[in-house]
Amino acid sequence: MFDYENNPAGYRLCQDEAAKIGGIELLLQQAISGKDDALRSQSLEAIARMSFGNPATVELAAGAAETLQAICTALQSGAMPEKLSALQLAQTVAASSSPNAVAMVPQLVPEAAALLSENFGFDQLSRGALDFLVSSSFTHPHAVVGALGWQQIIDLLSEDRRPAWLHAGPLETFICGLLATNCLEAASGEADASHEIVAFLQEGTFLHCFLECLDAAVHRCAWPADSACFHSPNRLAEAASVLAEKGFSRTLVPAVTSLVQIVETAEENTQTSALLALRKLCSDVGCLEGLLAQEEFRKGTMELLHKSGEQAATDLLSYMEFVETAFRIAQAAKDAQAQDNLHAPTVLQLAEMFQRHAPLDGKIDATLLVQLCSEVPLAPSEKVIACLTSSSDVELSLQSFMERVYGTPTILGWWPSLMQEAAALFDSAEAVPRLPSLSQAVAVFEESTGGRSSLAIQTLHDVALPALGIPTEGTAVEVKFAELHGSVPLSFKAFAKWLVELCINMAEEDAEALAETEAA
């Protein structure tokens, strides 16, 4: 009747009633001054059970002055069962968001960190200390980093360098990855450590484990299936936010569906954490696309939360509507001039390029626009910038940027006016040997001209062709350069046309030479 898994309401009733009659105070007295090891251990365990998952009772336990003393004394000098019970209580405190619990955790972190190596041959002690440190890293990453040091955190990530007591299973990979993820929040000024941790997270199986664990938490299942370990949706949502901030959003696209389910089914605090995680993940176009497809969720749950005053829901809805409007207007502009934008990037491709330089609801200035020109690609960048204004502080939103790329009835599109003709030529000759991509041609043109609008013939010979890996000698090359004798510097369109024709002529010349060789 009072099993936490099967009857949480009955279990909480027991917790509350025990706390009302002063059970926590009585148990703390026994935990500190009890003469018997078993009594002290069981007293600590009972307090942990009274506090587990109950914000009111954990606040009482963490607020008692004797609690910190009881835990520290047990961890420092208690018998092994006392240490384990103390870690169990410490873990319960660390898992809580109550003010008293949050204030106590930093004082317990050094004690737990010491047990990772000083386990006296009892692996369960080190594992309990690690679990506590993982929970502590959500609220006090600086304290955890200060107690462990970056090298020990990195060693825990590496299967080759982990201590012998920590096995190499998926649960261990997940726990260590979660600890490292949270500690990245404290990595400012520690570029080397941060890069090494990010590399471990990218190359290992942690992100896969994280997605599996998040899905299991949504469905209230243990993960791994045979472990009897149930993970907090709230804490996983918080970790998703950190991972999104550190650049893992594209890998976490499947997490969008799980977070949506959390918002729909969880209690208020967890809902907020999931909404905040969705907002950060959806800074990435791939995640945003997945969320925009959840039409029922947006019109149902999100609208209700917004109307109830949930600020995180309001912020997310506002962001989604802003970007979706930009997408819709840009797509309409592209469709209106479909023939002139046949080879132009899609709306989502332009959005991905934009997000590499600014948030989707942010703006780019002229300096960032020059960088974007090489990605779209657009050339010459000098003409692109000139289309805006002579002022250096012009800023473009996502919608403005995409409208200028595609063009509108009142704006001459950069792609139709500068790139469509060249893009069509390159597309028609795609299979021609030696022909570079359009992006490569744009990059070399920009570099060879220094961003100006025309390419000198001598620079074409001495700089551009070698940069593209194209020979500057041979009959086909000589013929094409002869055509340019006395001509003015080439615009990008003229350069693109000349380059495609050169590569076609060289391919024909190579085919003739091969045929003659085979005939001989």
Q: What percent of the chain has pLDDT over 70?
A: 98
Q: What is the pTM for the complete model shown?
A: 0.87
Residues 239-272 pLDDT 10s: 999 999 999 999 999 999 999 999 999 988 899 9
Of 184-188, 213-217, 285-289, 442-446, which gets the smallest average pLDDT?
184-188
pLDDT at residue 121, as a whole number: 57
* Sign of the torsion angle spanned by Cα atoms 312, 103, 123, 79: negative
Q: 141-170: per-residue pLDDT in tens? A: 999 999 999 999 999 988 788 887 787 789
Helix (H) or strand (E) holding 365: strand 363-365
Quote the mean pLDDT of the chain.
92
Q: 183 pLDDT exceeds 70?
A: yes
Average of pLDDT values for 302-322?
96
Residue 118 has pLDDT above 70, yes or no: no
Highest-scoring range by mean pLDDT, 164-173, 188-197, 480-489: 480-489
What is the pLDDT at residue 396?
93
Q: Model confidence over 20-55: pLDDT tens digits?
A: 999 999 999 999 998 899 999 999 999 999 998 889
Q: Where are the domains of the chain?
A: 1-118+128-145, 149-309, 336-416, 429-519
pLDDT at 409: 93
> 75 and 87 in contact (C-beta within 8 Å)?
yes
pLDDT of residue 391: 47
Contact present, 54 and 67 (Cβ < 8 Å): no
Distances (CA, A) of 227 to 59, 109, 171, 301: 29, 26, 8, 33
Higher pLDDT, 281 or 389: 281
Distance CA 70, CA 368 (A): 58
Query: Is the distance from CB of 442 to CB of 414 less than 8 angstroms?
Result: no
Q: Which of 355, 111, 83 is nearest to 244 (CA)?
A: 355
Q: What are phi and psi of 408, to 5 degrees?
A: -140, 175
pLDDT per residue over 433-453, tens digit each? 999 999 999 999 999 999 899
Give me the pLDDT at residue 1, please. 65
Q: Cβ distance 85 to 42 under 8 Å?
A: yes
Amino acid at 238: E
Q: How far apart are CA 338 and CA 346, in angstroms?
A: 12
User: How would residue 392 be classed by pLDDT, with cut points 50, 70 and 90?
Assistant: very low
Tell me how far apart the alpha carbons of residues 114 and 117 are, in angstroms, rounded to a whole number. Answer: 6
Mean pLDDT, to the nearest integer, of 156-185? 87
Distance, CA of 143 to CA of 186 (rounded, Å): 9
- Structure confidence by residue, pLDDT tens digits, 43-96: 999 999 999 888 999 999 999 989 999 999 999 999 999 999 999 999 999 998
